[in-house]
Structures are given as C-alpha cells and as structure tokens.
Amino acid sequence: MAYNRILLDITDGVATLTLNHPETRNALAWVLAEEMSDALDRLEGARVLVITGAGKAFCSGGDLGSEVAEGLDFGRMMYNGIEHSVNPMLMKLKELSIPVIASVNGAAAGAGTPLALMADFVIAAESAFFYMAFPNVGLVPDCGSSFILPRLIGTARAMRMMMLAERISAAQALEWGMIYKAVPDESLKAETAALAARLAKGPTVSYGIIRRNVQAALEGDFGSTLHDEAVGQRIAGNSKDCAEAVSAFLEKREAVFRGE
C-alpha cells in the first residue's frame, strides 16, 4: 500500500510512524487511519514503535471536511468511518507486542488525544496541549476516550476534559499523570530517540507481556490478573533474553538482549 498521509521508517529496531498531512494538522481522516492500520501490519524487525506528527501538530482529530457520500447523513458517515477505518486501526495498536511511544510535537486535539494516550509512554513538547474539542462541534468523544481518560486521570478530570473542552497543557498533563514526560520543544526528538533506543535494546518479550497484562488488568479482576502474571512469567522465563540475563548475572557482565 502506497502511503500519502503517513511515513513509516524502521531503523535499528525503532519503527517511526509519522502522521504526515500538515495541511490538515494531521487530521485522523479515514484514509490516514487506513494507512496507519496497514503500517501496523508491517513492523517486522521493530522492537519499539514511535508515533509522531509532521509540522506543528501531532493530530488535530477527525477531519470534519470529509465528504458525505450520496444517501448518507453526516452521523452515518461518521459512524461508518469510525467503525470501519479508525476502530480496527486502534485495536491493532492496542494489541501490539512491542512498546509504543507517542512523541507529541504539538496539538493533540479531538481524536488526537486518545491516539496519543494509547501509547505506553507519552513524551510531549512543552508547547503541546491536549484538547477534547468534541462538544464544541456537537459531537462526542471517540477513539476510546471514554475508556482511557477516566482510567488515567479519574472521572472528574475526564469529564472536565470531555464536557468543558478545556485545553490541558503538557505541564498540566504531566501533573495529572496523563503523560510520562514534558520536555522543552527543542529536546523532544532527542528525548524520544533516547527512550526508543533504550526500549529497542531491552527484553522485547518481557515488554510485550507487561503491556498485555496491564491492559487486561484494567479490564479484569484481581484473580485473573494473578493468573495472567503467572502465565506471562512462564513465557518470559523461557525466553532467550531471560536466559541471557541469568547468564550475564552469573558472569557479572551486562546482558545483551535480542528481543527473543
């Protein structure tokens, strides 16, 4: 699939997926979501994924300029695009077995907010902000907002963001525990690259299990979590990276993980 609205690069185990349509501030148009979905199937060799935006924005949310096909009303057009283009991509992103970093270089508005917050690590430039603008145009949060935000910051703050549509700065997001780090704009690329390189050299099997177990625990109960952790420990314990770590410990040297 040829990409017109994203870029995908995989170098040294780091996959970088760039939303690349600055003229719409990287709006999550149906075609962009479909390109992302295709790219998520092409991450062979990657041990970490970085998602970022080209230009001055991370993602401006849904493309309200989308054409409505003849015979459809605006609501049905939105439903079809979300259900058939956006949601399948988000499920692929959720189910990845490698760590995900969102490098938020500017506005993460509307659907751009939950897209960023689905990452395991969100690094935001100090000038970036998160803005759930849905009610300003008579719409409701989508892309998993209703699931993600209350779990990250509690119901009161989530309702503040979703109903009052207040802009939340990177500093405020950090204070609330929404994101991993807020950094000076000029440091964003370097900070992102350093974290990505660290994760790309880590125990990928272990990272994937941690990611899956945390997601399951947010949706499940304590007993199921205990079981999932035991199963995960069995799988990780039989990985080559675990064997390497044990050997390195006994030999008093640093482990070299290969993601196996």
Tens digits of per-residue pLDDT, 8-61? Answer: 999 999 999 999 999 999 999 999 999 999 999 999 999 999 999 999 999 999
**226 and 171 in a common domain:** no
Residues of the chain by 3-state class (helix, strand, coil), percent to 5? 50, 15, 35
- The pLDDT-based confidence of 72 (bands split at 50, 70, 90) is confident
pLDDT higher than 70, residue 111: yes
pLDDT at 67: 61
pLDDT higher than 90, residue 104: yes
**125 and 66 in a common domain:** yes
**72 and 29 in a common domain:** yes
In a domain, 54, yes or no: yes
**183 and 56 in a common domain:** yes
pTM of the model: 0.94
**121 and 32 in a common domain:** yes
Q: What integer best gives the mean pLDDT of the chain?
A: 95
- CATH for 152: 3.90.226.10
**236 and 187 in a common domain:** no
In a domain, 256, yes or no: no
Number of domains the chain contains: 2
What integer is the mean pLDDT of 193-214? 97
In a domain, 1, yes or no: no
- Tens digit of pLDDT for each residue in 206-237? 999 999 999 999 999 999 999 999 999 999 99
**Is the model more confident about 245 or about 63?**
245
Could you give the CA distance from residue 178 to residue 104 in angstroms, rounded to a whole number?
Answer: 13
**166 and 222 in a common domain:** no
Could you give the CA distance from residue 109 to residue 11 in angstroms, rounded to a whole number?
Answer: 29
- The pLDDT-based confidence of 259 (bands split at 50, 70, 90) is very high
Determine the structural domain holding residue 229 and report its residue range.
Answer: 204-250
Calculate the CA dihedral of residues 244, 43, 23, 68 and round it to 10 degrees. Answer: -140
What integer is the mean pLDDT of 78-104? 96
**243 and 215 in a common domain:** yes
- The pLDDT-based confidence of 66 (bands split at 50, 70, 90) is low
**146 and 59 in a common domain:** yes
